[in-house]
Structure 1
């Protein structure tokens, strides 16, 4: 039984096709979902919120997209037990909806950064990171201006104590607290990350370290569907 995924598309999304291609390469059945829709397709296992510049990043990155009609359905979907993945601008959107804690601020250097970066897998206790080894080093590209993760000390402590930091930068490119590159929700069913694993799924990309994230995710969720 294959994973059924939906990828939300906003005005200004520019990684929606990349995310869909990465999921399809891993064996998922993918549907593109326009932001003005009010309901998700039936039977989805996962909703992906892609990178880009939704609504031109006006007001605050992800703030307008988080209030799009489809995001009400995404929040309900996650609260009902569905899985969610937010990449770069998608991470910003998920934070704005309240599905993930913290904030993403301007990079410490106040410049847009677009480059491959080193990452360390901080936990394998999630469907998103199960295909890696704890402590494994990866190289995946980033492309953001507002990727500086911030949270109050209590939230940072909770993320660490609950093993919800999914990925850390090996050399911090943006000033993120505790070198955080990606975090998990309390129920571990939502991942938000600034690096772009969908841009690292083929050797032609310069590296394929992101491919195992999608392969592991599809295998994990398809397995859950079979067991159910």
Structure 2
């Protein structure tokens, strides 16, 4: 399939759907944007698409908690069609608010026996909205089987923009279980030693200090995938780095070619080649 079709799901408050559609199209896909009410009215329309993406923003104003209301809609009213979609070897991507939605809907990490998802995303340690560029390290070793979106990616730099991005597992045992199962595929990292951003700090507990870890996430987690690797949620915004001039130091450094964000979207498209 040369041009997979992308279903971009938006809700009241979503504000990154246009940029995300553009990024997918730049990568070679055909992207359509739909309000969640369209999908609630006609769930079968999702069958015509190969990629489902929930972009960033503030769905339903982040009332109750970020992504919570849209997650409840997906779980209670669209659970069957989403399970069918995922079972057909298709891809799901949640960016920032979309990550919050996928995680709280139980589409990335299956709920425990008591029906509770084993991890959540909550308020940044700073207590405020953080908007900055961060360094990231993928935990897949470049293996496409682990997560197609991160195929061939080891380290990268992307922007974040969120107030509730702190990854918190249920307890230490749950964190170890998620790590051993390969769910924790993307982590905040320090810049390379030669970077002008400064030398990597030394930490005692393994959690990077601010601003390297911008929200205080346990184990520096920035992205999570499901057991198949075909569903990925990440807090950074890849759609905001698909052109060299998007990088804040593009005039002083040589940006990666292609930019890291575009590589993620190209990987998704290439999965169906």
> What's the TM-score once normalised by structure 1's chain length?
0.90
Secondary structure of residue in 2 paired with 1:107? coil
Q: Which moved more, 1:155-164 or 1:63-72?
A: 63-72
Q: Which residue of 2 aligns with 1:67?
A: 72
* Contact 1:117/1:169 (<8 A) preserved: yes
Alpha-carbon distance in structure 2 between the residues aligned to 1:75 and 1:141:
31
Q: How does 1:119-158 map to 2 (within 5 A)?
A: 119-123=136-140, 124=142, 125-132=146-153, 136-151=154-169, 152-158=171-177
Q: How far apart are residue 31 of structure 1 and its match?
A: 1.5
Q: How does 1:145-184 map to 2 (within 5 A)?
A: 145-151=163-169, 152-170=171-189, 171-184=212-225
Root-mean-square deviation (CA, aligned residues, Å) is 1.7
Alpha-carbon distance in structure 2 between the residues aligned to 1:3 and 1:210:
18
* Contact 2:160/2:235 (<8 A) preserved: yes
* Contact 2:27/2:265 (<8 A) preserved: yes
Q: How far apart are residue 165 of structure 1 and its match?
A: 1.7
Runs of 4+ in 1 over 6 A off after TM superposition: none
> What's the TM-score once normalised by structure 2's chain length?
0.76
The answer for unaligned runs of 5 or more in structure 2 is 110-118, 190-211, 248-254
Q: Which residue of 1 aligns with 2:56?
A: 51
* Contact 2:225/2:231 (<8 A) preserved: yes
The answer for unaligned runs of 5 or more in structure 1 is 224-228
Alpha-carbon distance in structure 1 between the residues aligned to 2:78 and 2:23:
22
Alpha-carbon distance in structure 2 between the residues aligned to 1:191 and 1:5:
15
Q: How far apart are residue 71 of structure 1 and its match?
A: 4.5
Q: How far apart are residue 80 of structure 1 and its match?
A: 4.9
Equivalent of 1:93 in 81, 88, 101: 101
Q: 1:90 to 1:71 in 2, by over 3 A?
A: farther
Q: 1:111 to 1:74 in 2, by over 3 A?
A: same
Q: Which residue of 2 aligns with 1:212?
A: 263
The structure that has the greater radius of gyration is 2
